[in-house]
C-alpha cells in the first residue's frame, strides 16, 4: 500500500534522475575571458577599517600596549602586508583571536607554513582545545619546536 507521501518522494526522486525539461538547461554559464576583470577581486578590495577601529582592535585583541596596530593603506592588501607586519581580520578578533597569539597556534602555523590570518575565524577556540588535548595526552605538536618571535597581523610586536 502506497501513501501520498510515498508517491511524492518517488516522483521527486525520479525527477532528480531525469533530464531537465528545459532545453536551455545544460552546461553552467561561464563568462568569456574578455568579460572578466583584469585583476582578481582581492586586488581591488581595500580595507574598510577606520582610525577609530584601532582602539577597538587593541581592546578586543588584548594587545596590552605590546603591539603596534596600523591600518592598511588603500593600495595594501591582506596577502601583501607591510614589512615586519602580518595581516589579521576583524572577524578573527571578534571570534576570539588575542595577542600575543598563543604559542601553540603560532607553532602550528609555523609548522604547516601558513599565516595565522589564513585560519578560519572560529578555528582559534578549536585549536586551543586541541592544544589542551595534546598536552593532556603528552603528544608533542612536532618533534623539534621552532617557535620564534611572530609578528602578527597589520600588527607588530614593539
What is Dmax (Cα atoms) for the chain? 76
Pair 110, 149: CB distance under 8 Å: no
Nearest alpha-carbon partner for 123 in 105, 145, 141, 150: 105
C-alpha cell at position 72: 592598511
Looking at residue 144, its pLDDT comes to: 44
With 70 as the cut, is the pLDDT of residue 129 above it?
yes
Which pLDDT score is estimated for 23? Answer: 58
Question: Which residue is it, cell 574598510?
Answer: 48
Asked if the model's pLDDT at residue 153 lies above 50, the reply is no
CA atoms within 13 A on the CB side of 95: 16
Compute the Cα dihedral for 140, 149, 54, 82 and give only its sign: negative
Going from the C-alpha of 149 to that of each of 6, 15, 86, 98, 100, the distances in angstroms are: 63, 59, 12, 16, 10
Distance, in Å, from the CA atom of 84 to the CA atom of 143, rounded to the nearest integer, reads: 28
Query: Per residue in 3-41, pLDDT tens?
Result: 555 677 777 767 666 666 565 556 667 777 777 777 776
Measured CA to CA, the distance from residue 141 to residue 104 in angstroms comes to: 8
Residue tagged 531525469 (cell numbers) = 18
The closest alpha carbon to 74, from 42, 46, 44, belongs to: 46
Span 146-153, average pLDDT: 41
Residue 86 CB-half CA count within 13 A = 19
Mean pLDDT over the full length of the chain: 75
Amino acid at each position: 500500500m502506497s501513501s501520498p507521501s510515498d508517491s511524492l518522494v518517488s516522483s521527486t526522486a525520479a525527477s532528480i534522475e531525469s533530464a531537465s525539461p528545459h532545453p536551455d538547461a545544460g552546461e553552467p554559464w561561464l563568462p568569456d575571458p574578455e568579460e572578466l576583470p583584469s585583476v582578481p577581486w582581492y586586488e581591488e578590495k581595500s580595507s574598510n577599517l577606520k582610525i577609530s577601529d584601532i582602539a577597538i582592535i587593541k581592546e578586543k585583541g588584548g594587545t596590552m600596549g605590546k603591539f603596534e596596530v596600523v591600518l592598511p593603506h588603500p593600495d595594501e592588501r591582506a596577502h601583501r602586508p607591510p614589512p615586519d607586519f602580518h595581516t589579521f581580520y576583524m572577524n578573527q578578533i571578534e571570534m576570539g583571536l588575542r595577542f600575543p597569539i598563543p604559542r601553540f597556534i603560532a607553532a602550528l602555523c609555523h609548522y604547516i607554513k601558513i599565516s595565522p590570518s589564513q585560519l578560519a575565524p572560529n578555528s582559534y577556540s578549536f585549536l586551543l582545545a586541541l592544544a589542551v588535548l595534546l598536552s593532556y595526552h603528552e603528544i608533542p605538536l612536532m618533534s623539534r619546536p621552532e617557535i620564534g618571535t611572530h609578528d602578527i597581523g597589520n600588527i607588530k610586536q614593539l
